[in-house]
Amino acid sequence: MNGRIIAFCCEHSAYPAADLAGKLGLHYPETLRIIRVPCAGRVDVIHMLRALEKGASAVLVLGCEDGACHHITGNIRARERVKHCDMLLREIGIDGRPVVMFNLSPNAPHKFVKAANEITKIIKESREAR
């Protein structure tokens, strides 16, 4: 899937933020592929791992800001799961492709774009380091 970034976006914050980025013409890398989820807490380790298995260069999980998750604890659960997944990957020493969680609010398109740019930068740096 040459260099695709898979971003799981919750429909209460991240997904509308991505929409707003488009509406405002704030550009981000074309390699991003968004999968809509009802809550970041829906995303399981299997989804992140499968994305990497299928060749994604990075996995993003994007959910609501702290204390403002529509499903109260969904974003916290997601963050812990992302951490867990990252730890698993490090432990078995896979090639260091990043799995990262970001929090944002639906009216923060710039934060969405920043997340997309940041992850792209991380991918580039880790590729160069190898």
Structure tokens at 105: 């609010």
Q: Is 63 exposed, middle or buried (0-12, 13-18, 19+ CB in 10 A)?
A: buried
Beta carbon nearer to other proteins, 104 or 129:
104
CA atoms within 13 A on the CB side of 77: 13
The pattern of x and - marking residues 89 through 118 that bind other proteins according to CB under 8 A reads ----------------x-------------
Among 3, 4, 100, 118, binds other proteins (CB under 8 A): 4
Number of residues that bind other proteins (CB under 8 A): 49
Among 39, 58, 85, 123, binds other proteins (CB under 8 A): 39
**Does 55 interact with other proteins (rule: CB under 8 A)?**
yes
| Whole-number Å distance between alpha carbons of 51 and 20 | 25
